[in-house]
Structure 1
């Protein structure tokens, strides 16, 4: 299965982190690589002290929202950790999940050769080289399994999360495991068999010997003191946590993927179209049935993809009215739904067992439940959620809502109405369910802007949608705030009323308010309550900022000419790969330089410089060495070259050339006196150095081709609207919204994404000031903060792509592209290369495009806003062109 870009990015960040951990340790590496500002937090004991035995263990979390395909990353995570950290071809992996139900589903998926999860493992480690075990069957694991295969053991955190180790099979002394302990050298920390003067033949001890990679799925369920005790007992080599909703105060979130990115990558359906029903559950049910039936009429248009929209009904508990039995009877008797189209899935009735909902012959169109689908169930055909209970449990409704978000086949549907999810909800009054579902989206990993924009009201069927009402926040205050000094525009947004029967006041805030107004409200509270109140007001403002009509909501076209390269009769997007293919290159013209590779005998450590950093690679501990492949007795020099070829193979390099290039590099190490045993043990760090050398060689060849091809007088380039990029009005791949307390007027989407607001010093960030200038220039119709993502506007460079910071459409139809650079970066080679490419695009656009590399203040003394205005007016350096 081909990974989406955000999944590739997560794996790349993990690899970079692990490689840096080799050099700098887990804490400093995290602070360098994490995609948000946070300090690394080591694993702590119940006294909030770092656990000494785990301080050097990489411990990070990948935050992937619901529907983002966390589990499919598993094979890639395992391979990445094996290569970048463990230096093993076949690691031992313990995969922990929160419940038995999820364990059984995960075990079934990884054990099935036809399932995508297992196919990914087979692809990464080789067919026949993957062994899957239930943690309950740990006695079946043989020493040769660990030595010759990837061993993936799947269990629940509860399997090992006990204070008394005597009461769990996990810690039991087992005769079946004795072969693993024969002739084992003394290893500290193993639990001893009482009265036997030996270590227990236990699964826990076996894991401790081999120091498994631990992957904890749904990791938000694992943040307890006992969970940390489990990690300490297992002595893991690395801990990777996967969750949509991490505990931000206790998790080292290395990568945080936003729901906006999932939407842009076509993984989820958004927005959720909400219809609230205050006239009874029967009306709600009938309306949701009509919606599902209508969506099925659209399904034939998705051919060759088969699609059968499914309705999920959340019935009430037995002490209520719309129970499972009542709803089922109503569907059959009153709505005339065929029995074979209905399945009941509750704790007592397991109607979905052994049902393949993706089978075109499957008749199921309706699933009735209460909350039994909340864990592990996954069917992307689920489109409509019908919640008949007014007492919605946050967990139940949130998990059911998540089931209707997944996009069938992880690609956009032909009909726009099939790119959305639908919720019909019984509500005591309008607005209540909307707020509940918005809160639920946040709990599922959406940021406040995404959550606020992720729910829209349904107008009459097929009649479109409308945004939610303005964001409201209610606070209780000990006294009335002084509102005489707040901005006049805020006075109509704030209502203060005495609270009946008390001496307190209730304040209601509607829409976005100024910082001065926030301060006036917060000042009325005791000091201990002010921080939390300030957080709630900021959160309210962020949500409120998303609720405005935008050019994207109006579906206004926003198209930008691409830079194209004419190759004979073909017109292709200019790129480094195209130019390399056009001009040709050979890796043999760029010999690998392994002169920095060396071995320190005293510490048994290999050293090599990679990207100007000294990388250390330590030999495996003796206790594990017997189980790990890589001993010279099992290898030849040809096998070493073949291994390195597999590790660094590139699609644009002919394999015979690459093999010969690697052979020469390896021979150079032999000529320097290294023996085969040393090189085999260091094969991963050598591969890393070779990959760096290939990257440098490609860049050198590409830069040469750029200068001779793109910047020639008669360069075969063009940039016109026949070959244009279009910003998707329904998907903006922002990782996080700008949190500034500012009401954006002209941004194409509700709020700019990935735009820094303030520096660490508290000063406004320069890029933010550039954005403010764009938002206030009359000649600009609308603009966008361009994101570094394959779906956004880009220009080629010798090393890949550059994504200019801002793109604006002027009222006269021209396009303005702005790259902002801080004063310390304007003159560097990277900035010069980007500017050169931007001006090439401008020249090829036949007057339709303007390119500007802006700075805080240029040599002529102009501000950012003056630079932009002059660029629009055609002035160069502030003077007429």
Structure 2
């Protein structure tokens, strides 16, 4: 049950919504209000992960609030209705509340119509009990819908996204005599709106005439073109989106962090993942853990008066056509083990034994729910504590969709025991790493991150759990477990659960009074789980409180993001004082210069072009024949060079053809000399100088043959590309020579000055490999890069490794005659930094040679603690510093 008292973060979100609504009225547009609101927090559109405002609903203000699962986003929306109607000064107090699925539709309707539910109580309080909650059928029937009524009361239409989209939804566009009175009134007041494809008495037309506030729950499901069209047809005055995972089309104005939810006692964190030896052990321990939690809950109820009946979700595997028989077999096995049948319910896509059961009611007997993934849709019960996956050991049955179901904290208030403030996942999957990945993905989908996951891989046979550890520190231990398991056999267990032999101790065994007292050796493992979960929860709660206080500033909460990852605490000391050498331009201190100026500035490769005189560069090797033209077109499409060439428009091309048809060859040369510089990008002209570029192009045109000149009109952009890339090649060669000269002369020096940022934003985080520098590393890797990451993660001689993301702000790169972003940095236990570039077989080219040459030079200049490697999949280039992956692993990693 949601408390009527707003949490701090909920009040903060509502204040943000109020401020945005106020700004839309003052500034006139949603986009201007968005920019102004962010600016008040020192944030700017397009910077970092702050997106530009997206207007796809004809100018109606549309903003999103990001609230993780369990954060009470519907309660925020209920309280926002009064804020918005007040600030927007609406004429008709109408709300369209959109939800993605029928199950959530029924749940939302039930809550908004229940006078005792906090959602309805909040709305009744704000609107003096003058509230009408309608569904689609009510709207089609015109129930209570007339002009004066909709202006006098708050009318809330609760509808699904499909209400106007499928065949049945077309009824909302048809003529409707029940709505004639309302639509005629709207016409008389000048509020009527024409909706494309709809009758002027249709429900969609009536809703559009109300100019409603639209609440979009789980808005990440409503981004299709049909959904956007539906929103436009509703003619909203304001759209408020709510989701845990905003899409790239969402204008996020407020974010609630996982730390804030934990600090405000809204969620059961951390999630602790336990590995078990097989189905029997997983089910048996899930039952025993649930029993222990219920015993603890009884003690908690004596102290707090809050009734909690912990529920275990048993996730079976979907097999074949007769799924129901498989699930019932599991239920029979549980009953045979002594669990009363009324304590067990099957809830899958085919079987629903829960129905409308109120699982939080004191008299409800259900303690076990057998499911697959169906609970992901609208199922909500804070009493769910344990998720046990009982698929085959080699299966990867997804737990991703169910993790969010065990996060919500009962009564939005921490229990006296930390064991009741924690969520548990038990699995027998041989690929424990994959299960961890799914748990993290499930938490990401619920608005959380891998920081909220701990894992314990201890074998149950050992008796006492070693305690949960962060997911980053698992890989070595997992490999040991998996190797042992493979030796003992990898046969899949039968799918029908006939092999289960569940043996349970006395259910009434006394709970130990303290963590030092163990009543029965059969309970040792479970009691250890309880003790370690309490310790982990206490640490998580303290960390959440500290982090929430840190995030308390500002109005939007936009400075925090679940994809921002910090340097891991266990390796922070190794990088705190680390400074990686980079090249700098040496500056001599003059009479009036500051001391800092004498230390030089970070070297920029473009400074090498200071003496590059394009007017004096030869053009004799440039050919514009048909083959070169074809190559140029390909280069122009595929090259990642920043030196882009403009294409001719059809109008320009036609005009040039007409001109060339009437002109002599000399006249054509004059035209080409005038046109080609304009086809180059402003960056090209700025980099090489307009005068030098013009001189170079004039000489190229002068040496063009008559055939080349004849083909110029149809290939003008391609000619420009050939010339542009020829200039680039010549400039690159000049940079290489000049860099060597200035190094030897002492104008370029090397200084240890690069420090790692304390955190990194990763849109594609990889959380399951060990020994990372940050809590996660970038997961956008090809096959060879993943091989390298795995090798570094499993090397005892590596303290940490980091995946370099090219051109990310604050990232390290070797700043020589090219800007070289190596793929990996890795610190050895001996204090050496490995700088590693990986290359596929197809990449043995001049770019690779330049990178290898620069990398070797940089390592030599940086000193003996720095080593550069270029690692190929198989056959390396025949240059010092180039190795195959196998050789690199054998000769270097294995000798650390």
List gaps (5 residues or longer) in structure 1: 45-49, 475-548, 560-725, 752-761, 763-767, 773-881
* Partner residue of 2:161 out of 154, 157, 162: 157
**Residue equivalent to 1:323:** 326
In the TM superposition, what is the alpha-carbon distance from 1:110 to its structure 2 partner? Answer: 0.6
Contact 1:41 1:251 in 2 (8 A): no
Contact 1:131 1:145 in 2 (8 A): no
In the TM superposition, what is the alpha-carbon distance from 1:181 to its structure 2 partner? Answer: 2.6
* Partner residue of 1:105 out of 107, 118, 127: 107
**Residue equivalent to 1:68:** 71
Contact 2:317 2:390 in 1 (8 A): yes
In the TM superposition, what is the alpha-carbon distance from 1:372 to its structure 2 partner? Answer: 1.9
Distance 1:395 1:67 in 2: 24
Within 5 A, what are the aligned runs for 1:393-792?
A: 397-446=399-448, 450-457=449-456, 459=458, 463=465, 465-468=467-470, 470=472, 728=545, 734=551, 735-736=560-561, 739=564, 742=567, 744=569
Q: 1:37 to 1:451 in 2, by over 3 A?
A: farther
Q: 1:471 to 1:416 in 2, by over 3 A?
A: closer
Distance 1:393 1:14 in 2: 45
Within 5 A, what are the aligned runs for 1:83-94?
A: 83-87=86-90, 91-94=93-96
Q: 1:416 to 1:229 in 2, by over 3 A?
A: same
Contact 1:43 1:228 in 2 (8 A): no
Contact 1:258 1:736 in 2 (8 A): yes
Contact 2:71 2:261 in 1 (8 A): yes
**Residue equivalent to 2:382:** 380
Q: Secondary structure at the match of 1:399?
A: coil
Distance 1:214 1:274 in 2: 39
In the TM superposition, what is the alpha-carbon distance from 1:175 to its structure 2 partner? Answer: 0.6
Contact 2:314 2:369 in 1 (8 A): yes
Deviations for 1:722-775, whole angstroms, at most 9, x for unmatched residues?
Answer: xxxx98589877544795775557999x99xxxxxxxxxx9xxxxx99999xxx
Q: 1:114 to 1:556 in 2, by over 3 A?
A: closer
Distance 1:217 1:557 in 2: 29
Deviations for 1:290-315, whole angstroms, at most 9, x for unmatched residues?
Answer: 11011111112212111111111111
Within 5 A, what are the aligned runs for 1:64-463?
A: 64-87=67-90, 91-127=93-129, 129-138=130-139, 139-143=142-146, 144-161=148-165, 168-182=170-184, 184-185=187-188, 189-191=193-195, 200-247=200-247, 249-277=248-276, 279-303=277-301, 304-319=305-320, 323-333=326-336, 335-389=337-391, 397-446=399-448, 450-457=449-456, 459=458, 463=465
Distance 2:174 2:393 in 1: 45
Contact 1:412 1:419 in 2 (8 A): yes
Distance 2:568 2:381 in 1: 39
Deviations for 1:776-809, whole angstroms, at most 9, x for unmatched residues?
Answer: xxxxxxxxxxxxxxxxxxxxxxxxxxxxxxxxxx
**Residue equivalent to 1:632:** none
Contact 1:388 1:426 in 2 (8 A): yes
In the TM superposition, what is the alpha-carbon distance from 1:418 to its structure 2 partner? Answer: 1.1
In the TM superposition, what is the alpha-carbon distance from 1:318 to its structure 2 partner? Answer: 3.3
Q: Secondary structure at the match of 2:400?
A: helix
Does 1:7 pair with 2:10?
A: yes
Q: 1:395 to 1:387 in 2, by over 3 A?
A: closer
Question: How many residue pairs were aligned?
Answer: 493
In the TM superposition, what is the alpha-carbon distance from 1:191 to its structure 2 partner? Answer: 3.9
**Residue equivalent to 2:31:** 27
Distance 1:394 1:153 in 2: 41
Distance 1:341 1:109 in 2: 26
Q: Secondary structure at the match of 1:95?
A: strand
Distance 1:557 1:229 in 2: 44
Q: 1:445 to 1:191 in 2, by over 3 A?
A: closer
**Residue equivalent to 2:701:** none
Distance 1:70 1:393 in 2: 35
Distance 2:103 2:300 in 1: 33
Contact 1:260 1:733 in 2 (8 A): no
Q: 1:41 to 1:470 in 2, by over 3 A?
A: closer
Distance 2:469 2:83 in 1: 43
Distance 1:467 1:731 in 2: 23
In the TM superposition, what is the alpha-carbon distance from 1:4 to its structure 2 partner? Answer: 0.9
Q: 1:310 to 1:770 in 2, by over 3 A?
A: closer
Q: Secondary structure at the match of 2:426?
A: strand
Contact 1:66 1:445 in 2 (8 A): yes
Q: Secondary structure at the match of 2:272?
A: strand
Q: 1:37 to 1:267 in 2, by over 3 A?
A: farther
In the TM superposition, what is the alpha-carbon distance from 1:463 to its structure 2 partner? Answer: 4.4
Distance 1:296 1:232 in 2: 50
Q: Secondary structure at the match of 1:297?
A: helix
Distance 1:77 1:137 in 2: 24
Contact 2:69 2:244 in 1 (8 A): yes
Distance 1:218 1:385 in 2: 23
Query: RMSD across aligned C-alpha pairs, in angstroms?
Result: 3.8
Deviations for 1:47-102, whole angstroms, at most 9, x for unmatched residues?
Answer: xxx55xx22x21001111111111111221111110111345x6100001111111
Contact 1:61 1:241 in 2 (8 A): yes
Q: Secondary structure at the match of 1:470?
A: helix
* Partner residue of 1:17 out of 8, 15, 20: 20
Structure 1 or 2: larger helix share?
2
In the TM superposition, what is the alpha-carbon distance from 1:384 to its structure 2 partner? Answer: 0.5
Deviations for 1:370-405, whole angstroms, at most 9, x for unmatched residues?
Answer: 122111111111110111235999996333211111
Q: Secondary structure at the match of 1:76?
A: helix
Distance 1:30 1:227 in 2: 22
TM-score (norm 1): 0.51
**Residue equivalent to 1:658:** none
Deviations for 1:419-471, whole angstroms, at most 9, x for unmatched residues?
Answer: 1111111212343312221222122212xxx4144233265687462214536
Q: Secondary structure at the match of 1:347?
A: coil
Distance 1:233 1:2 in 2: 36
Instruction: Work out which of the two has the higher radius of gyration on C-alpha atoms and give 1 or 2.
Output: 2
In the TM superposition, what is the alpha-carbon distance from 1:157 to its structure 2 partner? Answer: 1.1
TM-score (norm 2): 0.50
Q: 1:389 to 1:745 in 2, by over 3 A?
A: closer
Contact 2:164 2:230 in 1 (8 A): yes
List gaps (5 residues or longer) in structure 2: 477-531, 552-559, 577-601, 603-754, 760-896
